[in-house]
A and B are shown apart, each in its own frame.
Chain A
Amino acid sequence: MVNGYLAETLQEALAIRARENVVPYSGGTDLMIEPDEEATYLFIHKIPELKTINEDPEYLRIGAACTFTELLEDARVPGILKDAVAQIAAPAIRNLGTVGGNICNGSPKADSALILFATDAKLRLASTRGERTIPISEFYLGRKKTALQPDELLIEILMSNTGLSNYYYKKVGARNALAISRVSFAGILQVEGGKIINCMTAFGAISDVIIRHKEIDALLVGKTLDEAKTVKKVYLGAYDQAIAPIKGRISAEYRKTVCMNLLRDFLETNGI
């Protein structure tokens, strides 16, 4: 085909990626909004390794070219990711759009990427030079800027197999279907034996990249719910300092207020 390669194997795709200037095309729904007539696409949606979901003792390993519909139909995908994916666009887009594309597009509004930030997911990247696995937070360098090298492909997303069941997720948009997030928030609070053993939160759509402050969330870890109440003010104060939304189609003030409301609601829902 002219201006395109249809890769059938990962080896073939990586070889083309190493030798030519191609744009990886997974579901295409972000690329086709502003199509580049000069672009040569590397179609990767038929590569078996990129289309499968596997489980090992530690991780759920999601192939980067799995569509949102495929994630919704797989019983092993955690509820926190499904809740976010179910609210992306509408069925016809969810039938095309993929989790890997959502990540590699580099948008801070990417609804699946928010969940992967909040759960400290890892990304497995490959090229003909070899492979590397990095935390998703290291993948986002700035607005639409990622750490993906010109010869690399995102192969798999690694999500923890445990500890994700008690979650909170809210997407604030202008309507139900086909809405782009104005503010999105995801939080996980893991309580065991009366103590908080893990707290993870992330804010989407408010800045150039998705916001995740592990050091602030650590304030709650090791505390009982009652003890957490005593540091609640400090915790919220730290986020109040740390979050500085940028103005987009809506004001920075609105975004900030919604962020703090969602964070407070996340705590209150968990009895803090």
Chain B
Amino acid sequence: MSALSSKHLLGIKDISKKDIQLIFKTAENFKEVINRPIKKVPSLRDITIANIFFENSTRTKISFELAEKRLSADIVNFNSGTSSVNKGETLIDTVNNILAMKVDMVVMRHPAPGAAKFLSKHIDANIINAGDGTHEHPTQALLDAYTLTEKLGNLSRKNILIVGDIIHSRVALSNIHCLQKLGANVRVCGPPNLIPNHIESLGVEVSYDLKESLNWCDAANLLRIQLERQDDKYFPSLREYSLQYGINQEILNQLDKDIIIMHPGPINRGVEITSQVADSYNSVILNQVENGVAIRMAILYLLSSN
């Protein structure tokens, strides 16, 4: 294990199992760093990072900012809502202008799938994809898988279930790639019209039976219904979705075993997950958030020297 195979982190699809293991090993060290009295190391003190967010974000943005600050990088934040994008500037022009101010790395979230890859072909800086439309969200997948390895050990042959709005979810696609590279069995479960056609071709199982799937899995990752991406009505009401695919304590009590409950956030309490489950012993939602900073520190650290 020596260095990442790529200069950018555009998606999990493009990186290898070795890369994932190197990121996890490095994240372990950073997890120790963020639990010290002084949670800051000077590694990236000569690096400037631009966080460019064309879409709303709370967790990912704060997590990236904290990771960058704890590595001593200088940062500039850019939100499309308050920028010249509203005046008609193109993506490349916007980013090139930021880079002209001597920025070394770009963390970008964009509503268009492939935006990060497009950018990586046109500009000379390390690009980290913080979510591109319904395509990929690699850092989320890495922190999810890292959290799972902390709880389950080696993920080889472990059964991981992803529940909910698969078709609109970049988290689902990145998770599928990441978990499969680590040897896990992945199954998706949700209403038929929220599961993409031909998803089986990725090597995942499909089920519409939530209870049977929960009994099958070691961990379940619950996804939010992405109303902002749904230009059509996919189900009659959130209440009906919740009755069919929401997870509550009663369902979990009926299972033969304890399973780990994950959620990438933001949680819609009472829709895909009840408060009781979200705050329960089985839930690792806040561990995911803590690990998110360590994973992002590892990625920034490894990419910056590539």
Does A pair with B?
A: no
B residues at A contact (CB < 8 Å): none
A residues at B contact (CB < 8 Å): none
